[in-house]
Amino acid sequence: MTDSEYDVVVIGGGSTGTAVARDCAMRGLKTLLLERDDIASATVGTCAGMISSGLKYSDEPDIMAMCSKEVVHFNHIACHIIMKNPILAPLLELSDAASDSSYVDSYSAHAEERDVPAMLFLTPEASREIEPMLHPDIIASVYYEEFFIDPFRLCMLQALDAINHGATVRTYCEVIGFDINNNTELEGIIFYNRVSGTTERVSTKLVINATGPWAHKIAKLADEELDIRLNKGAHVILDRRVVNVGITVKAIDGRWIYLFPHENTTLLGTTALDTWEDPDSLVASFDEIEYLLQSIETILPSIRETRIIRTMAGVRPLVPEWKRPEGKVTRGYRIIDHSETGKTKGLISFTGGKLVMCRHMAEAVTDLVCKKLGKAAACTTHTQALPGNDADVDVAALSKDFGISLHALERMRARRGTEMLKVLELTKEHPEWKTTICTCEPVIEAEMRYAIREEFPQTLNDLRRRLRLGTGPCQGTFCTYKAAAILSEELDLGGDDFLVDILDFRAERWKGIRQSMRGEQLAQEELTLGMYSCVGNLDQSDVDYDIKPWEEGF
């Protein structure tokens, strides 16, 4: 077997793709992961990070049981990037509680396994003691607890762990075709390297299509039909954690929506709209933003006083069940072996699934892969920890030792667990790298340099996913140019590339800022334009800047 011959090529660097690559590599398969953009750059990067107990799917008891078990596994392998959120579902009238109360029993049945209390009903007083912003007229609330994971770090750690186990991970490599022989056996895969601008080919025995909302397009490259239901979900992102606990409410159309504290922000979501748009160009609409605000306002009347920093929109790759609302479509996943549904031997696709199931999906497909390759190897992805999960870190002591603020170190721990010690090690030789580059999050220069060296980012946007750089209220106003300079130094880029990196990141941030712009964000934008257009004169720059998909058209 030469370097360019693989047992399995995984397409897609989202939660499922990275989980599959990790599982395949851990079972000793020669594995290549191809991602056309960056790790976690699409669907998973626009989710709330909830690894759900399956509460919403109480009519699918098997799925609920599976979700609960997966939460236990994640807490075992990735506890350093997980946070538990208590959640209140306040009721304004009795009909706000679901007519069928079986969800209380089915949630509580699995609660002990996840080490959370059974579902509780709270009085209005007790509810407001937990969250004083609640509407005075609530009659009761339901209390439960869910776990949340940093979706970017999860994907990154799965990819890094796959690499640790021998896999090759290639970002910015877009699959453009398959080699299929006369016996309809898939033999090779052809992809375009977007960094070098060249086309490459590798041989492989199997291909796993984990491309989420692009799954049907990849299948089409092998002339296979794949039915999938694409559904848009948008979030409004508020500055800081403005509620003490997560809040879920019935939206104005009767769906459930939520407000979750998440990292240094609060997420308000989501909408559900069937979509046929290019996922790359989707943004939240004014109606979606109002729908979410109007809905949460019924329970949290003061929500509009918060600082709205941006929106984000993603696409759910649902199982193709039609003529029913998004909420009624199964949250299970399907593994489609195209040798059975069509003719191509060696191509396997996913539809459906949820973040919480990504490891389970990987296990199932890797079982199938091993069977096809005649390999006997058991899955260990639920027992072996992801990098950084090893032990707890005493950030208070580290803060004293290194003279770095406790808050900065706590945030770093939430991304890296014990791996943060490697970052801090860098500051011994370079104390100046203790400088805070992104003050909103915060992120210090040493972590930025470490991520550039160890986590293969190409752009500032890639660094954002690894570090939460530029995700705070200023949306990169103050860190974009500083971080671009550091990226330029580390990657030895030219002067034009430095400016392109700045423009790229501004474009990506603007994509989400623009739709919900109001209040303080107007002043923030005036400042941004004052810096980059007025002083930096970048609006007049003649560097080779590629128009982004969401910037096209009129």
Partner 1 sequence: MKLKSDILVIGGGMAGLVAGIIAAESGATTLLLRKGQSATAYSSGAIDIIGYLPEATEPFSAPSEGLAAIAGLYPLHPYGVVGYGDNVAPEEVVDTIIERVRDSVVWLKDRLEGTIASVVGDFQSNFSPISILGTTKPTCLVQTTMNPGDIHEREDSVLLFAGITGYPDFNPSSASKTYLEDRIAMGQPPHKVGFCMTKIMPFGKSFNISSIEIARHLDHKGSIETLAEQIDVQVKRIGATHVAIPPVLGIRHALKSKLELEKAIGAEVFELLGFPPSIPGLRLQLALEEVYTKAGGKLLAGHEAISSSRKGKTINSILARSPRREISIDTKAIILATGKYIGGGIAGNENGIRETVFDIMTVTGEYHSAKDIVPSRVTHRLEISPMGQQIQTCGLSIDPQFRPIREDGLEWAENVFAAGAVLAGYNYSVEKSGLGVALTSGYGAAMNAVDRIKGVA
Closest to partner 1 by CB, 265 or 480: 480
Residue the block writes with tokens 């799965």: 158
Instruction: Please report how close the Cβ of residue 191 comes to partner 1 at its closest, in angstroms.
Output: 30
DSSP state of 532: I
CB of 522 to partner 1, least distance (A): 4
> Hunting for tokens 């501004």 — which residue is that?
506
Quote the crossing angle between the two packed helices 15-26 and 151-164, to the nearest 10°.
20
Q: Which is nearer to partner 1, 231 or 461 (CB)?
A: 461
Phi, psi of 224 (to 5 degrees): -105, 140
Closer to partner 1 by Cβ: residue 221 or 483: 483
Query: Rounded to 5 degrees, what are φ and ψ at 356?
Result: -60, -20
The least distance separating partner 1 from the CB of residue 494, rounded to whole angstroms, comes to 6
Closest approach of partner 1 to the CB of residue 536, in Å: 5
Separation CA 552–CA 12 (nearest Å): 24
HSE-CB for 292 with a 13 A CA cutoff: 28
Please say which residue, 32 or 308, places its beta carbon nearer to partner 1: 308
Least distance in angstroms from the C-beta of 459 to partner 1: 15
- Least distance to partner 1, CB of residue 480, Å: 10
Partners of 5 in the beta sheet?
203
User: Per DSSP, which regions of 283-361 are E strands?
Assistant: 308-318, 333-337, 347-352
Nearer to partner 1, 92 or 507 (CB): 507
- Which burial class, exposed, middle or buried, applies to 371 when counting CB atoms under 10 A from its CB (0-12, 13-18, 19+)? exposed
Interacting residues of 471 by C-beta distance below 8 A, sequence separation 6+: 263, 264, 265, 440, 441, 464
- Residue for token digits 């069928």? 100
Residue type for position 252: I
Whole-number minimum distance, CB 290 to partner 1, in Å?
7
CA atoms within 13 A on the CB side of 64: 17
> Alpha-carbon torsion 191, 193, 197, 202, what sign?
negative
Provide, rounded to whole angstroms, the least separation between the CB of residue 113 and partner 1: 44
The CB-of-436 to partner 1 minimum distance in angstroms stands at 6
Burial 467-495 (b: 16+ CB within 10 A, else e): bbbbbbbbbbbbbbbbbbebbbeeeebee
CB 195 within 8 A of CB 457: no
- What is the Cα–Cα distance from 74 to 9, expressed in whole angstroms? 25
| Residue showing tokens 């334009």 | 529
C-beta of 15 vs 477, nearer to partner 1: 477
Nearer to partner 1, 137 or 539 (CB): 539
For the chain, the first-to-last Cα distance in angstroms comes to: 51
**SS3 of 24, please?**
helix
Tokens of 198: 């060249």
Residue among 223 and 290 whose Cβ is closer to partner 1: 290
Distance of alpha carbon 476 from alpha carbon 38, whole angstroms = 19
For partner 1, the closer CB: 152 or 433: 433
Smallest distance from partner 1 to CB 33, Å: 32
Cβ closest to partner 1, residue 197 vs residue 553: 553
Q: Provide the binding-site residues for partner 1, judged by CB under 8 A.
A: 286, 289-290, 304, 403, 431-437, 445, 478, 481-482, 484-486, 488-489, 494-496, 498-499, 502-503, 506-507, 509-510, 514-519, 522-523, 525-541, 547, 550-551, 553
Q: Could you tell me the smallest distance in angstroms from the CB atom of residue 530 to partner 1?
A: 6
Nearer to partner 1, 161 or 508 (CB): 508
